[in-house]
């Protein structure tokens, strides 16, 4: 479970009505507590652990919108996104030790992702959307070099926004 906040800007393209480019920047934070099916020192398999992560998500999407009234429209956006991890930590319930996954070599900080979103703007200012982005780079850190282990990030979100 997490939250994100940020901004995007719609740049209309003159050669086709409804087509635009939408760059943006979002700060995100997520936290998840579960029984561990992984082992990072000092955590062992089958311990309860809390993983927290934060970062910056910078998408640049091609967007197409279809207006069904003067103040409402639906849209689809597709494109790449750069993701920069700021923090990635795990703390187990059996120890006070906190594992920093970037410093420890478990994950890489940067990823290139591809995905998109579907949404609607209602009453000229209210934005509802659902999006999904999947990493195309292997972000398994140096601890997994030459092991064949791959880690690809995936970010799914449900958004509510306001147009200023």
pLDDT at 11: 96
Model confidence band, residue 48 (pLDDT cutoffs 50, 70, 90):
confident
- Please report, for the chain, the start and end positions of each structural domain, with discontinuous segments joined by +: 2-162
**Region 69-81 average pLDDT:** 96
Compute the mean pLDDT over every residue in the chain, rounded to the nearest whole number.
89
> For residue 99, what pLDDT band results from cuts at 50, 70 and 90?
confident
pLDDT digits 0-9 by tens, 128-150: 999 999 999 999 989 888 888 88
Could you check whether the bond before residue 72 is cis, i.e. omega within 30 degrees of 0?
A: no
Model pLDDT, residue 143: 86
Residue 37: band (very low, low, confident or very high) from pLDDT cuts 50, 70, 90: low
Buried/exposed 1-27: b ≥16 CB within 10 Å, e otherwise = eeeeeeebeeeeeeeeeeebebebebe
pLDDT of residue 95: 74
Instruction: Please tell me what DSSP assigns to residue 149.
Output: -
Does the structure show a pLDDT above 80 at 57?
Answer: yes
CATH 2.40.160 fits 2-162, yes or no: yes
């Amino acid at each position: 479970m997490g939250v994100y906040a940020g901004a995007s800007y719609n740049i209309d393209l003159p050669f086709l009505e409804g087509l635009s480019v939408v760059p943006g920047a979002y700060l995100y934070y997520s936290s998840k507590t579960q029984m561990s099916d992984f082992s990072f020192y000092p955590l062992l398999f089958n311990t309860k652990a809390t993983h927290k992560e934060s970062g910056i998500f910078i998408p640049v999407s091609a967007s197409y919108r279809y207006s069904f009234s003067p103040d409402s429209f639906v849209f689809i956006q597709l494109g790449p996104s750069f993701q920069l991890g700021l923090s990635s930590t795990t703390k187990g319930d059996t120890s006070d030790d906190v594992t920093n996954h970037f410093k420890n070599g478990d994950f890489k900080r940067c990823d290139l992702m591809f995905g998109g979103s579907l949404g609607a703007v209602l009453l000229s200012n209210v934005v509802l959307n659902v999006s999904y982005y999947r990493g195309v780079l292997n972000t398994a850190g140096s601890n997994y070099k030459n092991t064949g282990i791959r880690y690809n990030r995936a970010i799914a979100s449900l958004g509510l926004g306001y147009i200023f």
